[in-house]
Amino acid sequence: MEKRASALDTLRSLGVPHIETELEEETMADATSGKPTVLVTRRLPDAVHDRLMRDYDARLNPEDRLYTKDALIRAAEGADAILPCHTEHFTEEVFASLPKSVRIIANFSVGYDHVDVAAAKKHGVVVTNTPEVLSDATAETTILLMLGAARRAGEGERLVRSGGWKDWSPAFMVGRAVTGKRLGILGMGRVGQAVADLARAFRMEIHYHNRARLSPDKEQGAVWHDSLNDMLPHCDFLSLHCNVTEETRGIMNAARFALLPDGAVLVNAARGAVVDDDALVDALESGKLFAAGIDAYNNEPNVDKRLIALDNTFLLPHVGSANRETRDAMGFRALDNLDAFFAGREPGDRVA
């Protein structure tokens, strides 16, 4: 108890965001209850907080302040687990500095490129993610990006709000059709397949590149290409849904943009790191791309100012999974992994 009280005093003096005066007595009581201590790095949905407070000694962040690397390490003192989002980066340096008490990183995200999994294994820390539960939400956002970019929705919305809309004309705000066009999908996993399902409602012809060909029941008539370069000339629209790996980082570069048909539309609801920003800006400025719909960026939230300045970009602030049902499900999935781990079972979504 004295050690726990000392840790709370230290963290309070450092301004670590999870320390809440009204919760200190409850937290101190939990320290003697045998409940594992979980550091929660961001504000999560209320239903997820309720379950955390019921089952764990939860160190919450109700003000949703971002942790610096050093503050994260200090805040983890005495914690058994960390429940982070993609906004926290777990490098070799961080793993080497984390308290030895931390045994599991239960991510509130399906992507885990913010975690050095090799370092996690080296330091004996289990890592999990939250697959499946956000596929439909991300697919919905992909269709929103596709339509928004093709139909110049960002330009139109800004025009109405600014009072700049003066008249109607047959030549006014002319975009590109989506219905009946060819859609290429890079990465035909759960999200890619959900996007294909929705795109079929627009009678789109589906092409895809994946590490392996899908079974016919999952393929549903989509055309498989065993190389990305072979698929790109067939893409009026290209939607990115691959993980970030050494092979996929910057995979959409100048040479690959050049393979797309003139006037294609790029959609990225995956990760910014799969796109070379210089090549993307060049393709948008030259007209090689008609437009791009983007929800994930390099160095976010510091979006490349060149993308912001272009009229032919439809930009969202990384909200692919942002609906209430999905965010609750993501939190519960992360907690299911924690529950399994602390019960001595293998977490269902272990990635390291």
**Is 271 in the active site?**
yes
**H or E element at residue 139:** helix 135-150
**Is 92 in the active site?**
no
Residue 143 near residue 158 (C-beta atoms within 8 A): no
Q: How many whole angstroms separate alpha carbon 43 and alpha carbon 62?
A: 5
* Sheet strands side by side (includes 313-315): 223-225, 205-209, 182-186, 237-240, 264-268, 289-294, 313-315
Whole-Å CA distances, 235 to 42, 262, 284, 287: 38, 10, 16, 15
Catalytic residue among 20, 155, 205, 300: 300
Please choose, from the candidates 329, 278, 288, 345, the residue with its C-alpha nearest in 3D space to the C-alpha of residue 312.
Answer: 288
Cα distance from N-terminal residue to C-terminal residue, the chain: 32
The beta-strand segments (E) located in 146-194 are 182-186
**Is 318 in the active site?**
yes
For residues 189, 195, 196, 200, the Cα torsion angle rounded to the nearest 10 degrees is 170
Catalytic residue among 86, 209, 271, 333: 271
Catalytic residue among 59, 114, 256, 318: 318
* Active site residues per annotation: 271, 300, 318
